[in-house]
Structure 1
């Protein structure tokens, strides 16, 4: 276990990256609301050297090169971004590689794998960046503060303000006019990291904090790390140096080998068993119905399980894409507030879909399959008693946990159980919905028939299927005869439909009318 905690310098890049992406998305959504912006979107976008863009410029493309002048802000998203010219406003960029060789007249906010500022680069105000690597070459000038979160950073240029950094590896090799506050890793806990493949050379920075002979610091140096910084004798620090030792006590080594496997299996069994008990108590029809569906139609359940998982993934992506397109359209209509609501709703819906799928795959699917397998072992495919259902669940989960512990076979079993369980739940839910609709339709038809018959008798007419009846006529009434009025007798063959007040026996007379 590492002696120092990597949480500070790992959380900072994620937080910065999230903020930068949200800021870029918000600016794109409200671009049209500002009323003064030029939008370009191609595979390769080039602002020529003699070209001047008088307004803000919003660009998306695989490769973006700015050799000319942008008098407003530049918001750009692409694969590779190169700024050789001048951006008089702010720069907001999200890309794999960003190279700044020109001038940024205000703040620069960049989210990228690699950010490099060349010898001629000028950033008049602050630089805020998150990514894998940041490099400022000798000659780079930054007029404000630097806020960075990255795996590594090499600051060799001139920074007039303060530096706030969170990195596993940080090297100071230039001039810094303010204070430096950094959370850094240490050599004993940070190994060799994967270096992204980009079009520019990425420097190698040693883990921890390093100050080279060319480092000049006019303010104070405060850093948190598990080890001392490597400060060369030629480095100049005008203020105080404060080192906060970050120590995490070594945790005792956990069990290994068969014992660890046993503990992991027991933890999985207890978790699924508790979930199964809760499901059998709260959702007995769903669990038993899905188990019955899996027994009778296993291949159908397997197919629908695969389709459901794949369809959910596609639905999540579709909701996100549609919401972004709709938000952009609303932004063009200067409805930025509604656009933000659309994006928020889509994010919440995606979270609900993903969370529902994860819970179903990880918890409910094994419970359904375990109930099915346990019922087959007990030779009772549909246990009626709760105690026998619990026993079937325990037997099925025991087999599932044992199979999961087998090397190479465990992942295959987990995948099959997820597909079968999810598919059985989907098929059962579909069948239950169809049966519910059929019952409601039948109830409506029966209620209509009863109301129609009752209305016919109330109006003095005969039930459906009867012949004419009246004074001197014999109609199709009940078995036998009954008095319907003075001197009139209703008789004939049995009716198809009996009036609501008729009983089961024959010869029942219609109740006399109350006295008027």
Structure 2
């Protein structure tokens, strides 16, 4: 299997470990979510700014813009946000996706994280293995078993008990780093290993995947960063425009084929109208406005299309009619994960991606039309 696909499957599969059958016993929503009292069950929360200041006796599942966890979590932590700060002790696993993922506390078992910057600060500890991906990955703490990282820049100054496998443009092993196992590296240039670093095993060079050497395929870290950005954008859009998203999902359920046909029409005709307007002097300004609206509409359509996939999953699980915002957001994140996995299948992935855009565009256009009709009435 292609190493890039293997890593992507591991990343997306880790997110899918969220247990659908668990009853949702707590849903906390709001612009700012502040948890001060101990939570004696699983906690599912979404908001712009989330602060967990008390112990959670179960799993913590959170989505938002900024997430700070400063007290103990007895179960797993699954988080998606722009900025994630884990200062607490997590007794089980951590799966995190964000622009910045910072770990200062301890994780009892393994960790899977992706983002622009993923940092394990000095004093942090991962009890088991860690798989990290991003533009920049920095490990200053301790990892109890193996470390696998894919990034543009990897910096290690901490301790890794097991083997270390790295794929990056630039690799630095700094003073104070202690790698007990083998260092396995894939890069166009050799790693920079300081004299003060200790490597207990072998230093093994492995070839880069052929696609990274021979074509312009988007790097793994960029692909994952796009998925993370889409997760964050979708959560923000839903929190800002919940009625639009909900109405579009209702329309897609009731009239899917009409939405599909309308989506094809909007996708094809709008660029033609923009081109025709650009030809005329008077219409050029209008063309720019229409083009900007069209691009925004495609983004919102993709988000609503993915929410509809999540809604289908909720209905198959028997939770569609009574789902709150928290569960809607969770289903959206899992839908992105599933679609990400399907993108790895040749041809099928492209067809599914196009279908999500077309259904989303059609549903959004029909929602806008019916909304304008109601205002006129």
Identify whether the pair has TM-score above 0.5, normalized to the shorter chain: yes
State how far apart, in whole Å, the 1-side matches of 2:201 and 2:191 are: 16
Q: 1:308 to 1:350 in 2, by over 3 A?
A: farther
1:172 aligns with 2:156: yes
**Gaps in structure 1 of 5+ consecutive residues:** 1-6, 186-207, 252-289, 357-516
Q: CA deviation at 1:336?
A: 5.4
Contact 1:226 1:247 in 2 (8 A): no
Contact 2:11 2:112 in 1 (8 A): no
Q: Secondary structure, in 3 states, of the residue corresponding to 1:37?
A: coil
Correspondence 1:471-510 to 2 at 5 A: none
Q: Secondary structure, in 3 states, of the residue corresponding to 2:12?
A: helix
Q: CA deviation at 1:43?
A: 1.3
State how far apart, in whole Å, the 1-side matches of 2:10 and 2:80 are: 9
Higher relative contact order (CA 8 A, sep 6+): 2
1:351 aligns with 2:357: yes
Aligned to 2:239: none
Contact 2:304 2:360 in 1 (8 A): no
Q: Which of the two has greater strand per residue?
A: 2
Give the TM-score normalised by the residue count of structure 2: 0.59
Aligned to 1:102: 88
Correspondence 1:4-403 to 2 at 5 A: 15=8, 19=12, 23=15, 34-48=22-36, 51-118=37-104, 121-185=105-169, 208-244=170-206, 316=298, 319=301, 335=317, 349-352=355-358
State how far apart, in whole Å, the 2-side matches of 1:87 and 1:232 are: 37
Q: 1:138 to 1:314 in 2, by over 3 A?
A: closer
Q: CA deviation at 1:322?
A: 5.2
Q: CA deviation at 1:130?
A: 0.7
Query: What's the Cα RMSD here?
Result: 4.4
Aligned to 1:415: none
State how far apart, in whole Å, the 2-side matches of 1:335 and 1:174 are: 44
Q: 1:300 to 1:346 in 2, by over 3 A?
A: farther
Q: 1:235 to 1:300 in 2, by over 3 A?
A: closer
Work out which of the two has the higher radius of gyration on C-alpha atoms and give 1 or 2. 1
Q: Secondary structure, in 3 states, of the residue corresponding to 1:19?
A: helix
Q: 1:333 to 1:110 in 2, by over 3 A?
A: same
Q: Secondary structure, in 3 states, of the residue corresponding to 2:115?
A: strand
State how far apart, in whole Å, the 1-side matches of 2:288 and 2:175 are: 61
Contact 2:24 2:44 in 1 (8 A): no
Contact 1:36 1:55 in 2 (8 A): no
Q: CA deviation at 1:61?
A: 1.2
State how far apart, in whole Å, the 2-side matches of 1:307 and 1:212 are: 51
Count of matched residue pairs: 272
Contact 1:99 1:116 in 2 (8 A): yes
